[in-house]
Amino acid sequence: MRNLTIGMKWAIIGLGLTVVTGCASTVGTQGVIEARLETRSAVASVLDVVPPPAQAVSVAVYDFPDRTGQFARNDDFAESSRAVTQGATSILIDVLKRAGGGKWFEVVEREGLKSLMTERDLIQQTRAAYQGSGAEPLPALRFAGVILEGGIVGYDSNVSTGGAGAAYLGIGSNAEHRTDIVTISLRAVSVSSGKVLTSVTTTKTIYSVMVRSGLFMYAAADRIAELEGGYSRNEPRQVAVREAIELAVVSMIVQGVETDQYSFANAAAGKAFIGAYRAQYIEPRLGVNAKRYDRKTAMLDTLAERPKSAKP
């Protein structure tokens, strides 16, 4: 920096101020964002195109809780907020209603059953007050043939962390990243027999990144110029949980069809969908497992061929 003229130094400072001011103005204009519908994932598109079933499945969801016990990560103080959403039950119900264009599942209300029964009692009492003992009763509630159980069973933070940075003559930048993993478990239970019909487990990686840049230099013998800027981006956890639930529902449908629990209205369309599903989600995983199995088998073969050491 000694070789830089005063004009060059002030030019660098001016450029830095321009960048910082531009970033600040950008952040300011993004301070108010209009409400919008939820962000759709790639799995949501798969869920939409599931071929319709031969007969819709009547299901009930009583609870889909957070079983991780994890609290939100905070390096500065103890955090009382949970690491993942506490509204997974509502997310699961919404995903079920969207499966196959809303043709796959008939969801009956069970999470708010107490409120539903209270309202029904109020209606019946009002009818009795005005119509007497001959008041027409409300129709019976619809029952479900399948109960969906499970929940958010895992949240592993800092599964991988890393970063890189560089600086020269007081000007530098660095980037850091972190990955977390959320795990969903979903199973379908027959009401008539109590048998577990299908059970699936899905995971979703949550990616977070932070980028920072800065400048530190002497503008004059007794004056220091310092500029800093950066941004961070964190994938919303509820979006990650929703995507994992969407994949769990798609996998549950495929498992149910393959085990003859459910069936597609169009067998050819259903076969094509299952083939595409397996090519997207099953075969890549089987390829990795096959490689691991081959390495393990080769290791066992090597140990088997190794001559035993002679006893003393």
Residue whose structure tokens are 């264009």: 101
Do the beta carbons of residue 151 and residue 66 sit within 8 Å? yes
Please name the helix (run of DSSP H) or strand (run of DSSP E) that holds residue 282, with its range, or none: none
pLDDT tens digits, 255-301: 999 999 999 999 999 999 999 999 888 877 666 555 555 555 555 55
Determine the pLDDT at residue 28.
47
What is the spatial distance between Cα 268 and Cα 99, in angstroms, rounded to a whole number?
A: 19
Do the beta carbons of residue 25 and residue 235 sit within 8 Å? no
Determine the pLDDT at residue 1.
46
pLDDT tens digits, 156-203: 888 888 888 888 777 888 888 889 999 999 999 999 999 999 999 999
Residue whose structure tokens are 């000694």: 2
Write the CA distances from 28 to 23, 24, 33, 63, integer angstroms. Answer: 9, 6, 11, 41
Q: Strand runs (DSSP E) across 20-145, as ranges?
A: 57-60, 105-108
Determine the pLDDT at residue 223.
77
For residues 126, 113, 188, 38, the Cα torsion angle rounded to the nearest 10 degrees is: 100
Residues in the chain: 312
pTM: 0.77
What is the spatial distance between Cα 63 and Cα 88, in angstroms, rounded to a whole number?
A: 8
What is the spatial distance between Cα 172 and Cα 214, in angstroms, rounded to a whole number?
A: 6
Q: Has residue 208 got a pLDDT over 60?
A: yes
139 or 308: which leads in pLDDT:
139
Write the CA distances from 110 to 116, 143, 266, 277, integer angstroms. Answer: 9, 10, 31, 31
243 or 167: which leads in pLDDT:
243
Do the beta carbons of residue 45 and residue 280 sit within 8 Å? no
Q: What is the 3-state secondary structure (H, E, C) of 254-275?
A: HHHHHCCCCCECCHHHHHHHHH
Which residues are within 8 A (CB) of 282 and not within 5 positions of it... i.e. 6 or more apart? none
56 or 226: which leads in pLDDT:
56
Determine the pLDDT at residue 68.
87
Q: Has residue 109 got a pLDDT over 70?
A: yes
Determine the pLDDT at residue 149.
95
What is the spatial distance between Cα 149 and Cα 182, in angstroms, rounded to a whole number?
A: 17
What is the spatial distance between Cα 20 and Cα 57, in angstroms, rounded to a whole number?
A: 56
Determine the pLDDT at residue 29.
47
Determine the pLDDT at residue 15.
54
Determine the pLDDT at residue 7.
55
What is the spatial distance between Cα 115 and Cα 78, in angstroms, rounded to a whole number?
A: 35
247 or 20: which leads in pLDDT:
247
- Starting at the edge strand found earlier in the chain, the sheet holding 196-220 runs 105-108, 57-60, 146-168, 171-190, 196-220, 223-234
pLDDT tens digits, 25-72: 454 445 677 888 777 888 888 999 999 999 999 999 999 999 888 777
Mean pLDDT (whole number) for 5-32: 54
Give the model's confidence band at 133: pLDDT under 50 very low, under 70 low, under 90 confident, else very high. Answer: confident
For residues 168, 169, 170, 171, the Cα torsion angle rounded to the nearest 10 degrees is: -50
Residues of the chain above pLDDT 90, percent: 43
